[in-house]
Structure 1
Amino acid sequence: MHEQTERIRESGFTDHVLVCTNARDSEHAACAEADGDEVYAAVKTWLRERGVFWSQVHVAETSCLGLCSADGTAIAIHPRGRWYSDVCPDDVPTLLETEFGPDATRLGRSDTDDE
């Protein structure tokens, strides 16, 4: 095992957006059926357009984040400690602008920065 915290910080990484794309064969809601792939693509597009995708902001598909809904996808943004449910592809620009600023210049904040 190798800790990579310093290397990642030195590379300029500041934030991680986790997008649930979990699918399941059951009667319960899952993000895959609630446009999870489309939300994931919209997140990547918004970040690419601002030049921060995979440089400062990493994006990852995840399995269940515990916020299942038939009305949209779950997203977590760290280190901010922000959690969202029911996110639709059209919600992504507003959500990311609220979190990161219109030009993605408010990066590297934690949930305690607003207190």
Structure 2
Amino acid sequence: MLKPKYHIFVCTSCRINGQQKGYCHTKGSVDITTKFMEEIEDRDLGGEVMITNTGCFGICNDGPIVVVYPQGVWYGAVSEDDVEEIIESHIENGKIVKRLLI
């Protein structure tokens, strides 16, 4: 596998034992992750963008949390409706979505 240009992490409140429960999970982060995967596939970005679900980032009040590397950009209060904008603006055009920044 080639090193992706971008790596997107989505908190899904996944616990070490595999259970998903917590703030981001209750706010739809699994659906957000799925939406990212669909957008990446629909836009043929699979070789450039990797998506990973994570455990808690520790800032639950700002969740659901999405972090984009290599820039280390942290987005908060992300919804499914924000995914297309993040992909189009940040991933495809290199412009951070300022209204979601933490």
TM over 0.5: yes
RMSD: 1.8
Shift of 1:82: 0.4
Shift of 1:64: 0.8
Shift of 1:92: 0.7
Match of 1:66 among 51, 58, 67: 58
Kindly report structure 1 stretches of 4+ aligned residues shifted beyond 2 Å.
none
Q: How does 1:1-115 map to 2 (within 5 A)?
A: 11-22=2-13, 23-24=21-22, 30-53=23-46, 55-69=47-61, 72-101=63-92
Gaps of 5+ in 1: 1-7, 25-29, 107-115
Query: How many residue pairs align between the two structures?
Result: 87
> Deviations 1:55-113 (Å, cap 9, x if unpaired)?
221110000123313x75110000011001100101111122111126xxx5xxxxxxx
TM-score (ref. length: structure 1): 0.67
Q: Matches of 1:72 and 1:88 in 2, distance apart?
A: 9
Look up the SS of the partner of 1:73 in the other structure: coil
Judge conservation of contact 2:7–2:50 (CA < 8 Å) in 1: yes
Which protein is bigger by CA-based radius of gyration?
Answer: 1
Q: Matches of 1:48 and 1:35 in 2, distance apart?
A: 20
Identity of aligned residues (%): 25
